[in-house]
């Protein structure tokens, strides 16, 4: 691979990540939608994809170009960027999709790889074989074996390989495929899933994406091949998909199908338009009356607007930490999606290890599946750390110590009235609250440093605990937003003494020590070891190899991400 490729995580929620992806010095923010442009049937011209839709990356099917002699000559002559008059990133597909739909294609793996190199594609694909859902297993095995062999033939391609992971609906095959592809390629594409999406088989889709993701290193960029319907974005992103491509916006338009984030409608059946994109605002329901060709073009634009809009909604939810709430809303648009959401329960442990321990948003209970949310799994685990007799039942967390009722997620938990029970009111002393939070956050026994002579200062406005002093020394503050403790040096030293290696620790290489002593953030590549019980957004002790405390900071990534990434910040130091 001679094209430069970098990826780092900037923000997280559940298994989703907002990432910074750099290919060939062109920067993208993930998750991102790659609109597919069909040179034979261009419903939206490239200049509009640039200007109206702000496209930074396009996908073109190289097989379509190869097959058309005139087009092939022109693109070979100009190169794909000049041909499209597009300076952004250009990804090409290989004809695999045609292979799936028509059973055969008139090219070979080597030919289509070479062709993509010649036209100057920056992200290309080998001729992977998308197996249909539920094919005979022997067939899925054959197709996977050939796919893996073909991936090997692409290993030295001059473009970034968008490496297809196949295996049909067989999770053992998907696992093998993910392990092999993940070893050799940085951009991994989950293939053969379009049919599942079209049939609303979202629980199968969840199984496949989760199985693949669990068997890929966390720093692999994951593309959901052909997943272009907005209804699926929140679910696929929650499992850690970074790239989506959509030919669907155009294909659906040709069928006069009107996309919404909650499903597809036939334009003919609509009497009102549930959208205010520039197209729907301009035409209203008169859209139906436009001449056929114009109708299709405009419908394609509407479809692309709602597709991009949903992806922005997903990204905003990741930023706010309320992707679960968005998933719950989307799940109500189709039982298949609700099944998909419910299937996440099976992957709760894995997802809870990726999920941040505290979030900006409140926890809104939004239905039965909220009981299995990652925050619940993490909270229940940590509740065992606290030794309190005064407990209050808060479903779905169980008996929560009265001392930590202000702490995330208990403090920001909102549920319908029928779920909340009348509970005895405990009067809890401030010092007991601090002790409870210490145990919940750091572990059993963490409260033993909190002595009676400690001074606790409250916010004048909210009357909540904000600062903890020992004599005149500020030893910790309590964050207003989630009521978690931010230890200062004194407390950090005590924590380090109390908890044995590697608890609460992020260990860094000697090379990083001067930077960290300078107050700089800790980059993932310098981390040599980490406590696996930590979670993103935890307060952590940064130590050197000899276990000397260097600094205190907030963990940005999950422990597995810290291990797998060699780019980006792992611990933000104050």
Q: Does 125 bind ligand GUN (CB under 6 A)?
A: yes
Among 128, 310, 325, 432, binds ligand GUN (CB under 6 A): 128
* Alpha carbons 12 and 194: distance in angstroms, whole number: 26
Helix (H, G, I), strand (E, B) or coil at 93: strand
For residue 409, is the peptide bond before it cis, meaning its omega torsion is within 30 degrees of 0? yes
- Identify which of 352, 5, 341 has the alpha carbon closest to the alpha carbon of residue 162: 5
Among 124, 133, 164, 167, binds ligand GUN (CB under 6 A): 164
Count CB atoms within 10 A of the CB of residue 429.
Answer: 10
Size of the site for ligand GUN (CB under 6 A): 13
Please identify, among the stretches 9-17, 42-50, 191-199, 555-563, the one whose residues bind ligand GUN according to the rule CB under 6 A.
191-199
Q: Does 181 bind ligand GUN (CB under 6 A)?
A: no
Among 13, 93, 122, 355, binds ligand GUN (CB under 6 A): 93
Q: Does 226 bind ligand GUN (CB under 6 A)?
A: yes
Please identify, among the stretches 93-101, 133-141, 373-381, 513-521, the one whose residues bind ligand GUN according to the rule CB under 6 A.
93-101
CB of 35 to Zn ion, least distance (A): 16
Degrees (nearest 5) of the Cα angle 59, 61, 62?
115
Please identify, among the stretches 189-197, 204-212, 268-276, 306-314, the one whose residues bind ligand GUN according to the rule CB under 6 A.
189-197
190-216 CB burial, b ≥16 within 10 A, e <16: bbbbbbbbeebbbbbbbbbbbbbbbbb
Please identify, among the stretches 122-130, 285-293, 487-495, 509-517, the one whose residues bind ligand GUN according to the rule CB under 6 A.
122-130
Catalytic positions are: 93
105 vs 512, which CB is nearer to ligand GUN?
105
* Alpha carbons 466 and 522: distance in angstroms, whole number: 27
CB of 180 to ligand GUN, least distance (A): 16
Beta strands per DSSP E along 177-268? 187-190, 221-224, 243-246, 257-260, 263-266
CB of 308 to Zn ion, least distance (A): 11
CB of 267 to Zn ion, least distance (A): 11
Q: Does 191 bind ligand GUN (CB under 6 A)?
A: yes
* Alpha carbons 526 and 509: distance in angstroms, whole number: 5
Structure tokens at 297: 């073009």
527 and 533 Cβ atoms separated by less than 8 Å: no
191 vs 230, which CB is nearer to ligand GUN?
191
Which residues, 6 or more positions from 287, have their beta carbon under 8 angstroms from its beta carbon? 267, 273, 279, 280, 295, 298, 299, 302
CB of 147 to ligand GUN, least distance (A): 9
CB of 85 to ligand GUN, least distance (A): 25
Among 63, 97, 202, 526, binds ligand GUN (CB under 6 A): 97
Residues 546-565 that bind ligand GUN (CB under 6 A): none
Please choose which of Zn ion, ligand GUN, none residue 97 contacts, taking the beta carbon within 5 to 8 angstroms, the exact cut-off set by kind. Answer: ligand GUN
- Identify which of 98, 132, 128 has the alpha carbon closest to the alpha carbon of residue 113: 128
36-59 CB burial, b ≥16 within 10 A, e <16: bbebeeebbebeebbeebebbbbb
Residues found near ligand GUN in the complex (CB under 6 A):
93-94, 96-97, 125, 128, 130, 164, 191-192, 194, 225-226
């Amino acid at each position: 691979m001679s094209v430069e490729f970098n990826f780092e995580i900037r923000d997280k929620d559940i298994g989703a990540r907002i990432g910074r992806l750099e290919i060939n010095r062109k920067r993208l923010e993930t998750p991102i939608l790659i609109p597919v442009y069909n040179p034979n049937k261009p419903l939206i011209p490239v200049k509009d994809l640039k200007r109206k839709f702000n496209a930074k990356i396009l996908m073109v099917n190289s097989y379509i170009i190869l097959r058309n002699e005139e087009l092939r000559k022109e693109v070979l002559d100009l190169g794909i960027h000049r041909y499209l008059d597009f300076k952004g990133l250009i990804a090409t597909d290989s004809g695999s999709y045609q292979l799936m739909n028509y059973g055969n294609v008139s090219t070979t793996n080597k030919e289509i790889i070479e062709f993509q190199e010649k036209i100057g594609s920056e992200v290309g694909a080998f001729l992977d074989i998308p197996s249909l859902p539920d094919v005979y297993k022997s067939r899925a095995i054959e197709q996977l074996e050939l796919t893996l062999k073909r991936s090997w033939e692409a290993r030295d391609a001059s473009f970034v390989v968008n490496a297809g992971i196949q295996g049909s609906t067989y999770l053992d095959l998907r696992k093998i495929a993910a392990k092999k592809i993940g070893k050799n390629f940085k951009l991994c594409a989950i293939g053969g899933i379009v049919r599942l999406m079209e049939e609303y088989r979202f629980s199968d889709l969840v199984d496949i994406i989760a199985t693949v993701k669990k068997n890929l290193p966390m720093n692999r960029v994951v593309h959901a091949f052909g997943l272009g319907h907005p209804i699926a974005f929140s679910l696929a992103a929650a499992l850690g998909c970074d790239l989506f491509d959509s030919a669907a916006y155009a294909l659906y338009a040709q069928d006069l199908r009107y996309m919404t984030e909650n499903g597809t409608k036939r334009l003919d059946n609509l009497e009102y338009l549930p959208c205010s994109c520039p197209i729907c605002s301009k035409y209203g329901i008169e859209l139906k009356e436009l001449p056929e060709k114009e109708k299709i073009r405009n419908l394609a634009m509407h479809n692309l607007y709602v597709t991009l809009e949903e992806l922005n909604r997903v990204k905003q939810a990741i930023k706010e930490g309320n992707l679960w709430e968005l998933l719950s809303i989307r799940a109500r648009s189709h039982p298949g999606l609700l099944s998909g959401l419910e299937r996440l329960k099976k992957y709760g442990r894995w997802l809870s290890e990726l999920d941040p321990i505290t979030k900006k948003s409140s926890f809104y209970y939004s239905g039965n599946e909220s009981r299995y949310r990652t925050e619940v799994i993490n909270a229940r685990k940590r509740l065992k750390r606290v030794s309190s007799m005064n407990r209050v039942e808060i479903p779905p967390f169980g008996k929560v110590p009265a001392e930590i009722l202000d702490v995330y997620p208990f403090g920001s938990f909102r549920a319908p009235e029928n779920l909340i029970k009348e509970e005895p009111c405990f009067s809890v002393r401030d010092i007991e609250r601090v002790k409870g939070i210490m145990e919940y956050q750091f572990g059993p026994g963490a409260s033993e440093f909190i002595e009676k002579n400690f001074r606790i200062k409250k916010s004048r406005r909210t009357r909540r605990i904000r600062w903890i002093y020992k004599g005149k020394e500020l030893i910790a503050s309590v964050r207003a937003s989630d009521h978690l403790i931010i230890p200062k040096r004194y407390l950090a030293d005590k924590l380090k003494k109390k908890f044995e290696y590697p608890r609460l620790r992020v260990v860094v290489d000697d090379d990083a020590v001067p930077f960290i002593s300078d107050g700089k953030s800790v980059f993932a590549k310098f981390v040599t070891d980490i406590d696996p019980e930590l979670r993103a957004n935890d307060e952590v002790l940064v130590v050197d190899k000899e276990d000397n405390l260097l600094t205190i900071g907030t963990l940005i990534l999950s422990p597995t991400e810290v291990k797998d990434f060699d780019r980006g910040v792992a611990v933000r130091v104050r």
